[in-house]
A = this chain, B = another copy of it.
Amino acid sequence: MGMVGGGEGAFIGEVHRMASRIDGQIDLVCGAFSSDPERSINSGRSLYLDEKRCYSDFNQMLTAEAKLPSSERMDFVAIVTPNHLHFPVAKAALEAGFHVLSDKPATYSLEEALALEKVVKQTDQLFGLTHTYTGYPMVKQAQALVASGRLGKVVKIIAEYHQGWLAASEDASSKQASWRIDPNRAGVSCCMGDIGVHAANLVEFVTGLHITELCSDLASVVNGRQLDDDGTVLMRFDNGARGTLMSSQIAVGEENNLTLRVYGELASLSWQQQEPNSLWLKQNNAPSHLYRTGVGDMATTAQAATRTPAGHPEGYLEAFANIYQDFAKQILAYERGQEVANPVPGVTDAIRGMAFIENAVAASQSETKWHPFETTKTPLKS
């Protein structure tokens, strides 16, 4: 693969690289790691890349790689830039004939996500989105339990994604913080765009339901922020279920507390990302069951996402590696003219994710309580 973004000082680029390496089937062969040409090339060198394939910008990379023989050139492009560059890079890569695996949120705006969908269709290349948390074995097990009817009809969903690292304004001086709170690079939202969108995706991934309406209350708790750093979104789903999604980056003391609870008529599930190898199934009038990664008969998707025996904790990088591994399988299947049963989140999730962000922001600005979940055009007022 080739990488765009993720130069020195970046966080998520190195995460992608570690995740891509674990299973030994994906090689990083080239990259344009920074918008600063010199930094881009130096970053490639420090990763021991072939000098010739340390590119100064992504257009150069796409052009040069496209000219290489198919056995040599990169198989796909991993995009790990700030949000505003996701779409331009993805579009260029897809149009240059490369598959794309992009970090989230998919684009800078819903409009771009809708445009992206067209590019994907026109180019017939694969597009994947690294909603990392869908890679955990126990998240896949949760999805399978809901699909099997074990919970009965889902009636209530609570999702949380709480962090505390942006609680003080001075913490925002870091490279990580600065672009996330900048509307020009992050988009219309900080908290919902950066992490709330993960929670929304997780909800739809596990339950198979779709948000149809929402009510939203976002806030910029730290003085002077232009974008939200905290918020709550009430949701209604296409089967009539209700839900609450809470997300914050100013919840002091929280690390990366993504949790999901799904209540059905027969049973409920709960999962916490910080203890990712445990999944609770609870019932009325019966002992609770604790599913654990690698213990007993798991759904095939969960089994396929498990590398080590029970009790050898699989962590965040392994979940991320599952996304990479699954995307690699999609590419292999694509080359054989096939499809896989469980593709990684793709362009549909891209649109729903960007729609979630823009609908949450638009609804928050309104005096009206409930708003339909718009996915075909932006709900934001110009």
Contacts and interface: CB of A to CB of B under 8 A. Distances in A.
A369 interface: yes
- Count this chain's copies in the assembly: 4
Interface string A247-263: 01011111111000001
Contacts of A370: 367
Nearest to A47: B24
B252 A266 contact: yes
Given A274-B311, A368-B367, A369-B215, A287 B286 contact: no
A127 to B, nearest CB: 25
A144 interface: no
Categorize the interface residue count of chain A: 35 or more
Q: Which 6 interchain pairs have the tightest Cβ spacing?
A: A253-B282, A256-B311, A255-B311, A315-B315, A313-B315, A312-B316
Given A18-B22, A284-B164, A295 B255 contact: yes
Contacts of A148: none
Interface string A311-325: 111111110000000
Interface stretch (A96-104, A180-188, A302-310, A345-353): A302-310
Contact of A156 (B156, B163, B251): B251
A23 interface: yes
A168 B285 CA distance: 12
Contacts of A264: 252
A287 B291 contact: yes
